[in-house]
Structures are given as C-alpha cells and as structure tokens.
Structure 1
C-alpha cells in the first residue's frame, strides 16, 4: 500500500496559487489573456487606491505577500490626492483609460484581477475589503471570490 505525501504550500488558500508575484500574474493572465497581467493589476489597484482611504490601501498591502505589495501601491499619477467618491462609470473609465481598453471590457478585467487577489487574502480580509467597496463593485468582488464564471 502506498502512502501519498501531502505537500504543504505557503499560499493563503492552501491551493498553491498566488504565493508570489509570478503566480499572481499568471492567475490574472489565465482569467484575462488579452491583457498584460501586470498592467491590468496596476490599473485596478491604482483605481482602487483612488477609491479607498490611504489607511485601507496600506492595510490591504500588508495582507499581501511581499513581492506583490509593490503592485498595490498608490499610482504615481495620484499620490497625495484624497480618495475620490467615483461612481461606477468613472471608476470603469479610469481603469479603461489606464489600460487603453474599451470601458465595456473593464468588468472582465476587474473580475480577473479580483480573482487573483482573492487567492492572496484570507477570507476575513476579503470580506472586510468588500465592505469598503461601493455597492456596485461589491458584486464583482463577490463573484470573483466565489469563482463565478467570468463576465464576457
């Protein structure tokens, strides 16, 4: 009788995904292959950092593995500015402009980045972050957490 050895991983989820920058970006690429993963992450993180308070951005960065933290920094174009109450259209437009993408594709980009981000966060932190998001963004965040099919 053979005994299989179960390997331990250092990922938050225990699934072995998202433990470093490369696997994080690979997770994004698998969701949104038509976009450069690092640019998609930067666009989403930059826009989130505009929407969230500086203390929440710092708190969220601390939840991430060290080599991903740099990806979630306040965008160089927006440093020093107070968070803005962006409505849905403005939020989507800012992500689209950051990526030079069509605004109708932004929800797909958000889903891909959020899905990879969920693999980095403990469930309790993901739920806390959801409460910081506007209602119109909470659904996309929750769908990515629940691995609902990505939007098309």
Structure 2
C-alpha cells in the first residue's frame, strides 16, 4: 500500500475515533434535559430564600408516612431532636429552614433531663407519646421526617446534626439521606 494511502487511512481512522468521542447535539440536549429534571426534583435549602415551604415539607413527610399526620410527626421528631442537639445547633438548624417552617422547631419546650442524656428507649417513648403511636413505629417516623428535613439542610449542617446525634440514631439519619433502609 502506498504511503499516501496509508496516511489517508490513518487520518480517516483518527477522524472516526474523534467523532465517536465528540458529543452530539442530541446527546447534549438529553444531558441538559436530565439535568433540568434532576433540578426540578431536588429540593434543597440554601439559606438564601430558595427552598420548600411548610406545605411542601409536610407533603414530603406525608409521602413517606401516609399513616401519620405529617405535622404531628414532624413536631414529634423536632421535639425529640431538641433533646439531643445543642441549643446552638438547634438555632442553626432553625435558620436553615424556610421561615414558615421554623415555628415547628419552637413548638416544643425542652424537657428537664435528669442526668443529662436521653437514652434510646426514653427518646423513642417521648416521640411515640407525642404522636400517640406505638414505640415500634417510631423508627419509621424518624426516617420519614429525617428524609424531608435533610432535603432542607446544606450538607455541612446535615453533617453537624449527624455528629451530635447518638450512635443509635446516626444510622437512621444517614439512611434517610440515601433513601434506603426504610423501616416497614
């Protein structure tokens, strides 16, 4: 094969390889469409006035917990969290929420703790009593409210919350982010 033909063949082979890597207009449109869909379904709170409101937060809780009243479930979990998290972190958490949702964090006065720490059984019983539910259903409620709450927080704030939660509750907090291990 003459040298010129080999060079032309190599050149066309390179063009074929490069065109296989080059994005097509249709491919770019598809990526843009998928990105836009992801943005539409991602609900996050930036602290800059862009996020969900009380109604959509409660709808997210209700979608996770159809057998419970969403507002009562959220209040019960927020009351429980107020027993576990520091005052400073509760203030930061409150600031991460949309304005019309912040009152739910203030609705529950802190209970006087004897000995300072809330153990797992007391925590579950407190949330169950607030909801008028069975203690064995509390993990499901926690998971549902945590999933909706995490969607409102920045990753940094979510990490702070996880860091202050007791070990026995950190797994539920982490699972709610990933949408896995939803208790039945």
TM-score, length-normalised on structure 1? 0.85
Q: Is the 8 A contact 2:45 2:97 kept in 1?
A: no
Q: Distance in 1 between matches of 2:149 and 2:128?
A: 19
Higher normalized helix content (fraction of residues): 2
Q: Distance in 2 between matches of 1:51 and 1:118?
A: 17
Match of 2:166 in 1: 134
- 4+ residue runs over 3 A deviation: 1-11, 81-84
RMSD over equivalenced CA pairs, Å: 2.6
Point out which structure has higher relative CO (alpha carbons under 8 A, 6+ apart): 1
Are 1:45 and 2:78 matched, yes or no?
A: yes
Q: Distance in 1 between matches of 2:45 and 2:98?
A: 13
Match of 1:22 in 2: 55
Q: Distance in 2 between matches of 1:74 and 1:86?
A: 19
Name the stretch that deviates more: 55-64 or 66-75.
66-75
Secondary structure of the residue aligned to 1:85 is coil
Provide closer, same or farther for how the CA distance between residues 128 and 99 of structure 1 changes in structure 2, counting only shifts above 3 A.
Answer: same
Q: Is the 8 A contact 1:49 1:73 kept in 2?
A: no
Q: Which structure 1 residue ranges, 5 or more long, are not aligned?
A: none
Match of 1:100 in 2: 132
Superposed CA offset, 1:47-76 (max 9, x none)? 111221211111110111111111112504
TM-score, length-normalised on structure 2? 0.71
